[in-house]
Each structure stands twice: as structure tokens, then as C-alpha cells.
């Protein structure tokens, strides 16, 4: 048995509940060449929960698999799993001294952990799919590694987090953002800069009694197509190149520290695959292989530490203290079918199901989730994370369906938007909040509805935070490229055969690199949005002296 090593990437604190926490790491064996797991050695993760004295606990130290087919990545669910995810130890394993027990975590409690990697010298045959029972039978009790874990470098092996509250609190705070362009040459460090003030926000608020519960990253965590899908230079199209993108991005020092200190949720957008990706493109030469490589890397590095809500689909739901979030996959299931400029043939969340009761689509799941949440929690906010922007629409799309069809956002998919809005209006879903990224410009929009007195009482909002780093503000994201007042700019969206209409007003546009902090105060019926710069300062709207600070306070419906 070789010595215990630090993870190569991670640990990442992923999906957290009031009693569990999903921890992710990426290993590297000494004989691996570059990023490819080329050696036959098996790697095993080790994780331990520290006690109140700050020492690793033998009875709460566990093994977990780091499989080569997943690029030596793996996850362990603290509070649920024992070694290798076994439901219980066998009598043979108990006789060998394995004594791990499930230790449910406590709600709203801060925990510290240590993680490490073992490289097995006595590897099984490379082609053999080794059962976890057999592998555990070759290992000493996990608790023997506690001293070695504590001797690993803290900045490479440690993580800490706070579990979610068990009861619905009156307040909730979290950070959102998207689009981390990796930079080229000497600008690579700039792409990592913003994550330092994000961590400072987490650390400062942990002392105030109103902690930041999690960070939501809403797409383009990596740019596989560094320049453009039309320029083959710097475009990932091999297994090794996709892994390099993730290792470079997730291994950067500031982001790595942020990963280690607060729960993270992620969802992909187009640049994890290819610019403006749609699923109908998969029929093109070479695109099927590109898609499989890209999504395989995404599942290893992002999806694996996310919730598993709908089998192996990439979209998911979760709750924080009872406040619900539905995270949409607006990329791998979107279709632009082959009828030219026929918008109704476009589907953002997958093609409609012919049998929703037995084979529900992503849109079916979303609509059911909305109605169920309204029934359970009433008018409390329901957050929908959509990497593609719900509103505002681009100014150019007002001109014609041809321009709408060229858009990468919801305006190109009116059938999907109409179905969702019909559910919101007919079922009186109150306080829906869309969270988006993508457009390299932050803003806030307030939605309003017409068609009935009940519809007019509904409130909905859209909050966009983008980009973490985008060095070309002149190229896109210019505030005047977007509709600010849909009623005045001829961008009203009519639905249900013209019976209802949606309008919106968008404001507080900002192109600077940014992240947003969202603070919910349900007792005051307020939702505050603060936009922070790459230096951690509240951004100033230089073009609006009357309202200089990029801070918005939205009034929620009672």
C-alpha cells in the first residue's frame, strides 16, 4: 500500500441537505501521464469528519471509489454512506476490523473534513470490474489513515461547510454567477480573480449569523471552445482536451478555495460542449463524438456532485431550508427542428411527451414541480435556475421570427415559454424567480401579467448574473442590446390564444465582471439582489447617477 496523497483537484463540497453532504475529489496516480489515467493502479478516496477538537475520527473515516472511467473522480455522501457506498458491512469485513457506521449530520451545523487518495500497489487485473466488497477486503480499516490525513497540506485536502437548516428560515442568502472565460497566456490568472472576493463574502457572513448557504454556478464553468466553434484552434474535441479544460479551471487557486468552503451547485450551458449547442446538431459529422466526450467530462466534474432527482437526467431539484430550486438543463435537450423560421417547432426542454403520465418530459417535471410547491409552501418563492435567459429578450428579436430563431435564449422557444407561463397563470403560482447567466451582462427584470384580475396579482422576477470573467465587453452583453420595457418596445408575449399576456421591465444592467448575492427576507416579503465586482465591491452604475449602487430590492407578493 502506498502512502496517502492529497487530491489532485478538490475537495468540492457539492449537494448538501440538513443531514448529508456530497464530497467530490479527483485523484492522480504517480504513473499517469498528463491528465489521462494511463496507469493500471486503482485509486481510492479517503474522507474523515473532524471532531470538535479538530482531529479526524476513526469511526467516521471512509473509503470511496475513484474510477478511471470517470477520470479518477468520485463522490462520497457524508451522513448517508459507509465505505464504497455499502449498505452494511459483511461479517468478514467486521472481522477484519472495519467498523464504519453511518453518522447522520446535524442540521445547520458547521463541519470540517479531510480528504486523501490511496494508490493501490496490489492492483487487480486491469480488465476486471472489481466488486466493492472484494476491494474493501484488501484494505485495512479506514480509521488507520486518520493521522496521515491530518498530516496532508490543509489547502489541498481540507474542506468545511454548514449543513442546511432543517426548518424553513425567515432568511436565505446565496451567491450566483456564470461564464468563466479561461483567458489566454498572461490573462489566465485574471479568470480566477473573482473567486477570492466570493470566498471573502462567504467568510464574512458566516460571522454575522446569516450565512451564505451555497453558490450556484449557472453554466459555462469551462470553455471547451476557447475561441469559437468555427475555429478549430483551442477547441476541445478529444478526451484529453476536455479533461485539461476542467483541470485548469477547477485547479485554479481561488476557485479551489471557494469549492472547499461552501456548497456548490452547477449546471452546464453551451460552452461545456460547443457554442450555441442544440441537440439536433448531433447528426452533423463528428458532433456525436464531440457531444459524448463533452457530456462525459461534465458528468465526471460537475454533475457527479449534484443531486440525483430524475434518474440520470442532468436537470435536478433541491431545497435549502424548505425553499425550493429547480435547475434546468436548457442545453442538451434543446431542439431547433428543420422548418425554417418556424418557432413553434423549437423546444428548449426536450420535445413534448406523448405520454406525460409514464414518460414525462423535463417541462412536464417542471410544471408539476411548480404546482406541487405552490400547494405545499404557498406564496413563498420558487427559484428556477435556467442558464438561458428567460427575460429580457434581445432587441433584435423584436423585429421578426427569423431574428428570434437566431437567439440562444427563451425567445427562440415560444412553445416552451407558453406552456410554462400557462401553468404559472392558471395555477396561480406566486413569486417565481428565474436565475440566469449566459449573456455577459447582469440585470434584474420584473414580470407582470394581464388577462384576468388573478393574473394581474401575480409577481415573477428574473435575475441574471454574468460573467465571472469576460474580457470582451465590446463583443456582446451591451445593455442597450436588450429590451428594457417590453410594453413600450413591442415585446409583449401573448399566450393561451391571446387570452393572457406577459410584460416585463428590466434594469440595473452591468457589463463588468460580477457575481450576485441574493438575500431573501420572507418575513419582510423582500428579495434583495446585490451585484459585486471582481474586487468584491458593490458595483456602481456609472450611467445612472440617481441610482448609483447596483442593489435591487424586490417586493414579493404576500
Per-residue pLDDT of 352-375, as tens digits, reads 999 999 999 999 999 999 999 999
- Assigned domain for 4 exists: no
Whether residues 514 and 438 fall in one domain: yes
**Mean pLDDT, rounded, of the chain:** 91
Domain co-membership, 485 together with 547: yes
Distance CA 509, CA 167 (A): 35
**pLDDT-based confidence at residue 127 (cuts at 50, 70, 90):** very low
Residues 139 and 192 in one domain: no
Euclidean distance between CA atoms 247 and 424, whole angstroms? 41
Q: Do residue 116 and residue 265 come from a single domain?
A: no
> Which pairs from 232-238 meet CB under 8 Å and 24+ separation?
235/274, 236/293, 236/294, 237/286, 237/289, 237/290, 237/293, 238/293
Q: Stretch 313-339: mean pLDDT, rounded?
A: 94
Residues 395 and 488 in one domain: yes
Q: What would the DSSP string read from start to end of 271-338?
A: GGTSTT--GGGGGSTTHHHHHHHHHHHHHHHTGGGS---STT-S-EEEEETTEEEEE---STT-EE-S
Residue where a domain stops, chosen among 161, 179, 194: 161
Single out the residue in 98, 127, 161 at which a domain terminates: 161
- Please report which helix (H) or strand (E) contains residue 213, including its range: strand 212-217
pLDDT value for 420? 98
> Are residue 73 and residue 113 in the same domain, yes or no?
yes
The answer as to whether 1 is a domain residue is no
Domain assignment of residue 3, yes or no: no
Any idea which residue has 440595473 for its cell? Answer: 508
Specify whether 526 is located in the same domain as 379: yes
Same domain, yes or no: 76 and 28 = yes
Answer yes or no: do 223 and 359 share one domain.
Answer: yes
Residue numbers of the domain that contains 465: 164-555
Question: What is the CATH number for 296?
Answer: 3.60.21.70
- The percent of residues in the chain predicted with pLDDT above 70, rounded, is 94
Number of structural domains found in the chain: 2
Write down the pLDDT at residue 92: 67
* 279 located within any domain: yes
Q: Tell me how far apart the alpha carbons of residues 257 and 276 are, in angstroms, rounded to a whole number.
A: 31
Confidence (pLDDT) at 454: 97
Q: Which residue has the cell 467530490?
A: 24
Instruction: In whole angstroms, give the CA distance from residue 275 to residue 224.
Output: 9
- Gap between the Cα atoms of 145 and 100, Å rounded: 13
Q: Express each pLDDT in 12-59 by its tens digit.
A: 999 999 999 999 999 988 878 777 777 778 899 999 999 999 999 999
Pairing relationship of beta strands 460-464 and 432-436 according to DSSP bridges: parallel
210-261 pLDDT, tens per residue?
899 999 999 999 999 876 555 555 778 898 999 999 999 999 999 999 999 9
In a domain, 13, yes or no: yes
Q: Which three cell numbers stand for residue 259?
A: 469549492
Q: Is residue 209 domain-resident? A: yes
Residue 136 lies in a domain: yes
**Shared domain check, 483 and 379:** yes
Domain-terminating residue out of 115, 132, 161: 161
Contact, 119 vs 2, CB < 8 A?
Answer: yes
Q: pLDDT tens across 455-477, in order?
A: 999 999 999 999 999 998 888 89
pLDDT of residue 546: 60
Same domain, 147 and 258: no
Residue 15 placed within a domain: yes
- The bridge status of strand 56-66 relative to strand 73-78 is unpaired
pLDDT, tens digit, 9 for 90 and up, residues 160-200? 999 999 988 889 999 999 999 998 777 789 999 999 999 99
| Domain shared by 193 and 220, yes or no | yes
* pLDDT the model gives residue 367: 98
pLDDT at 487 exceeding the cut of 70:
yes
Amino acid at each position: 500500500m502506498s502512502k496517502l496523497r492529497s487530491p489532485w483537484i478538490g475537495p468540492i463540497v457539492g449537494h448538501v441537505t440538513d443531514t448529508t453532504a456530497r464530497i467530490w475529489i479527483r485523484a492522480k496516480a504517480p504513473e499517469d501521464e498528463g491528465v489521462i489515467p494511463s496507469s493500471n493502479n486503482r485509486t481510492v478516496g479517503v474522507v474523515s469528519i473532524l471532531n470538535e477538537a479538530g482531529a479526524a475520527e476513526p469511526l467516521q473515516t471512509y473509503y470511496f471509489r475513484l474510477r478511471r472511467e470517470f477520470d479518477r473522480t468520485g463522490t462520497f455522501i457524508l451522513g448517508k454512506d459507509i465505505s464504497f457506498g455499502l449498505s452494511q458491512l459483511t461479517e468478514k469485513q467486521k472481522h477484519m476490523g472495519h467498523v464504519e457506521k453511518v453518522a447522520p449530520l446535524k442540521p445547520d451545523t458547521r463541519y470540517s473534513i479531510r480528504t486523501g487518495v490511496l494508490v493501490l500497489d496490489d492492483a487487480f487485473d486491469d480488465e476486471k470490474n472489481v466488486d466493492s466488497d472484494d476491494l474493501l477486503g484488501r484494505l485495512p480499516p479506514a480509521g488507520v489513515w486518520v493521522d496521515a490525513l491530518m498530516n496532508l497540506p490543509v489547502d489541498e485536502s481540507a474542506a468545511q461547510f454548514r449543513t442546511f437548516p432543517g426548518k424553513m428560515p425567515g432568511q436565505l442568502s446565496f451567491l450566483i454567477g456564470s461564464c468563466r472565460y479561461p483567458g489566454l497566456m498572461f490573462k489566465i490568472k485574471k479568470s480566477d480573480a473573482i473567486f477570492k472576493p466570493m470566498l471573502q463574502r462567504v467568510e464574512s457572513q458566516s460571522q454575522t449569523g446569516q450565512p451564505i448557504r451555497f453558490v450556484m454556478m449557472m453554466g459555462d464553468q469551462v470553455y471547451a471552445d476557447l475561441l469559437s466553434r468555427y475555429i478549430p484552434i483551442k477547441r476541445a474535441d478529444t478526451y484529453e482536451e476536455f479533461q485539461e479544460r476542467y483541470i485548469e479551471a477547477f485547479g485554479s487557486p481561488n476557485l479551489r478555495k471557494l469549492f472547499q468552503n461552501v456548497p456548490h451547485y452547477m449546471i452546464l450551458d453551451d460552452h461545456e460542449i460547443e457554442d450555441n449547442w442544440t441537440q439536433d446538431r448531433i447528426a452533423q459529422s463528428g458532433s456525436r463524438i464531440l457531444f459524448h466526450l463533452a457530456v462525459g467530462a461534465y458528468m465526471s466534474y460537475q454533475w457527479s456532485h449534484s443531486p440525483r432527482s430524475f434518474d440520470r437526467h442532468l436537470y435536478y431539484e433541491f431545497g435549502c431550508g424548505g425553499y425550493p430550486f429547480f435547475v434546468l438543463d436548457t442545453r442538451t435537450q434543446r431542439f431547433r427542428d428543420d422548418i425554417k423560421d418556424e418557432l413553434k417547432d423549437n423546444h428548449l426542454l426536450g420535445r413534448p411527451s406523448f405520454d406525460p403520465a409514464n414518460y414525462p418530459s423535463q417541462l412536464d417535471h417542471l410544471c408539476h414541480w411548480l404546482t406541487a410547491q405552490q400547494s405545499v409552501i404557498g406564496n413563498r418563492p420558487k427559484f428556477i435556475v435556467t442558464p438561458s435567459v428567460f427575460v429580457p429578450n434581445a432587441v433584435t428579436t423584436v423585429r421578426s421570427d427569423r431574428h428570434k430563431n437566431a437567439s440562444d435564449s427563451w425567445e427562440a422557444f415560444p412553445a416552451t415559454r407558453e406552456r410554462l407561463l400557462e401553468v404559472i397563470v392558471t395555477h396561480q403560482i406566486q413569486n417565481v424567480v428565474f436565475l440566469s447567466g449566459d449573456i455577459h451582462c447582469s440585470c434584474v427584470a420584473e414580470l407582470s401579467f394581464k388577462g384576468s384580475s388573478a393574473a394581474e396579482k401575480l409577481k415573477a422576477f428574473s435575475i441574471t448574473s454574468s460573467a465571472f470573467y469576460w474580457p470582451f465587453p465590446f463583443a456582446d452583453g451591451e445593455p442597450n442590446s436588450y429590451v428594457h420595457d417590453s410594453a413600450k418596445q413591442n415585446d409583449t408575449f401573448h399566450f393561451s390564444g391571446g387570452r393572457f399576456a406577459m410584460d416585463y421591465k428590466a434594469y440595473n444592467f452591468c457589463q463588468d465582471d460580477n457575481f450576485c448575492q441574493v438575500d431573501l427576507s420572507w418575513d419582510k416579503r423582500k428579495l434583495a439582489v446585490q451585484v459585486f465586482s471582481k474586487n468584491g465591491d458593490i458595483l456602481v452604475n456609472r450611467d445612472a447617477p440617481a441610482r448609483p449602487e447596483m442593489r435591487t430590492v424586490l417586493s414579493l407578493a404576500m
